[in-house]
Homo-oligomer: A and B are copies of this chain.
Amino acid sequence: MYRTHTCGELRKSDINSKVILAGWVQKVRNKGFMVWVDLRDRYGITQLIFDEERTAKDILDRAQNLGREFVIQIDGTVIERASKNPNIPTGDIEILVDKLTVLNESLLPPFTIEDETDGGDELRMKYRYLDIRRTPVRDSLIFRHKVAQEVRNYLSGQGFIEVETPYLIKSTPEGARDFIVPSRMNEGQFYALPQSPQTFKQLLMVAGMDKYFQIVKCFRDEDLRADRQPEFTQIDCEMAFVEQDDILNAFEGLTRHLLKTINGVDVGEFPRMTFDEAMERYGNDKPDIRFGMEFGNLNQVSQHKDFNVFNSAELVVGISVPGGNSFTRKQIDNLTNWVKRPQIGAKGLIYCRCNDDGTFKSSVDKFFDQADLKLWAEKTGAKPGDLIFVLSGSTEDVRSQMSALRMEIGERLELRNPDEFAPLWITDFPLLEWDEDAQSYHAMHHPFTSPQADQIELLNSDPGVVKANAYDLVLNGNEIGGGSIRIHDKETQALMFDRLGFSEAEAKAQFGFLMNAFEYGAPPHGGIAFGLDRLVAILGGQETIRDFIAFPKNNSGRDVMIDAPAPIDTKQLEELKLKLDL
């Protein structure tokens, strides 16, 4: 062993001990007659001291020439520091060095290894092995480990079995694009990497495994939106002989356990809200309920005057900004421009100030009088001192625009308390989504999601309104998990395939092995999957997942550190019976 202690553990009680430490040179302060070196490892920083009086001359000389990030090993004695540093746990002591070994030198790193670094994103990713030396990144990875351990121990304790499902599986044309893997031993044939272990976990239920989980990598070859990765990690779970409530309770238990053990936060029972209600109240199926500003439907109180913008709208919605009457004209203009950006796409933003004296001043005073505006205030819950924003248009557009505006204002007014955790179940998702392009329905979740029992009839008469036994878990405005109760009987499955426009033969071709399995006694079952990358980031109080992944890829799916993907040997392609066709 190269050390007797880590750089994070020595304290006052260790004074006079002989110790050996090893680590990286964080910083050298050289006063000539005296040199201090901050020595860093995974566990912390310990100060080393070398001086003319107490240190041999050759050691002092060599200490003066240590470069940043050199790897050194030292023998020395723990002594009390003259000027203590209360900011670090080892701040009471330093090491008087009497032996110094340079284990390895280092080039000057391309950015500073500090909490706040001068390195940009690309540079940090290219030298990720240096970036991880920085405390925030290292701590994020350790945090991820802790969360994963808690998940495993909790679920194991509840009788769940982690089963490894295969990575080399079969491509299915449905859904997102698969990454494929040519098979050399089976010419002209291909494996696919799993987008999720969905079918395998359902097979495990057929197999009687009853309570399954797995923390598992999944793969999707999609054009990457910001903060998405082509490979990502899921906590994948499935249970048999359960109804929706059983699943919700089981995984509410898991989430509560994580919030308690990881964040020290006790949250009560999670609220549950239907998809429809969430859309009405927040315009969004993953609302951040840490703050209010709920939607007020203004249709009844805004479509009775000559204002054609409203009269022609499917939906008129207002939100009340608490204390917003203090907004300057400039602030309001700024938000107006913000919602008019193409990413949001609103045509304009109507506002109504709620004065302290109970009067109102709106941008549409020409059309609406004080009595009208008072009703707007009632519908949006606005009080004197608040500001009402109103948007109108098609239901879909207005909801998404107003939801974005609500989040933006929540952010600007710092209403999204980072220390608060507000989980929320969204239930009763629609079973089907209408696909305009294809002029057909497709499954909102996946084709094995069960419709609600009392609505199966509607699958024939009005498929679009049928609700599924499908649910999402939302935390602080992020979807952290989602799942459904699956169909386990042949009749419903056949009906579902029919509604989705699959012929029996097509269904067989795509889902044959699962349908075969269902012939041999499939139990009622359902499950859920959590996005681990996102979950860890949110529990860690961060907005982006990047630093919770050791070696992430950039938005082109590239690992810039190892420079992958890359061209390969033609010999490799020949062995696989493949040719490039650029």
Contacts and interface: CB of A to CB of B under 8 A. Distances in A.
Interface of A: 1-3, 22, 24, 40-42, 69-71, 73, 103-107, 109, 127-133, 138, 141-142, 144-145, 148-149, 152-153, 156, 161-171, 173, 177-193, 199-200, 203-204, 206-211, 217, 219, 221, 223-224, 230-231, 233, 241-243, 246, 488-489, 513, 517, 519-524, 549-551, 553, 556-559, 561-569, 572, 574-582
A488 B566 CA distance: 27
B521 A164 contact: no
A387 to B, nearest CB: 44
A204 B550 contact: yes
Contact of A170 (B166, B224, B563): B563
11 contacts: A1-B243, A138-B207, A148-B162, A164-B549, A167-B217, A170-B559, A180-B182, A180-B572, A185-B221, A186-B558, A200-B550
A131 B204 CA distance: 11
A535 B215 CA distance: 21
A189 B567 contact: yes
A153 B149 CA distance: 8
A113 to B, nearest CB: 9
Contacts of A209: 42, 132, 138, 141
B513 A563 contact: yes
A488 B70 CA distance: 13
Among all A-B residue pairs, the 5 with the closest Cβ atoms: A106-B521, A132-B207, A170-B564, A189-B565, A2-B241
Q: Which of A168, A179, A203, A242 has the most CB of B within 10 A?
A: A168
Q: Which of A22, A24, A104 has the most CB of B within 10 A?
A: A104
Given A208-B133, A550-B164, A579-B578, A169 B559 contact: yes
Given A1-B242, A163-B141, A190 B577 contact: no
Contacts of A152: 149, 152
Nearest to A153: B153
Contact of A141 (B161, B166, B513): B161
A460 to B, nearest CB: 23
A469 to B, nearest CB: 14
Contact of A207 (B133, B142, B181, B576): B133
A104 B168 contact: no
A517 B231 CA distance: 24
B103 A169 contact: no
A166 B40 CA distance: 27
B522 A104 contact: yes
A2 B488 CA distance: 14
Contacts of A109: 520
Contacts of A246: 1
Contacts of A557: 168, 183, 185-186
Given A71-B522, A149-B152, A209-B42, A517 B129 contact: yes
B564 A129 contact: no
A231 B171 contact: no
A444 to B, nearest CB: 24
A203 B130 CA distance: 9
A581 B577 contact: yes
Contact of A149 (B156, B188, B207): B156
A165 B551 contact: yes
A523 B564 contact: no
A519 B580 CA distance: 36
A364 to B, nearest CB: 48
Nearest to A205: B129
A568 B561 CA distance: 32
B559 A168 contact: yes
Contacts of A211: 42
Contacts of A2: 241-243, 524
B580 A578 contact: yes
Given A161-B145, A165-B551, A170-B565, A579 B579 contact: yes
A275 to B, nearest CB: 24
Contact of A166 (B129, B203, B241, B559): B559
A562 B203 CA distance: 11
A173 B189 CA distance: 22
A73 B488 CA distance: 15
A38 to B, nearest CB: 14
B550 A163 contact: yes
A246 B1 CA distance: 6
B580 A580 contact: no
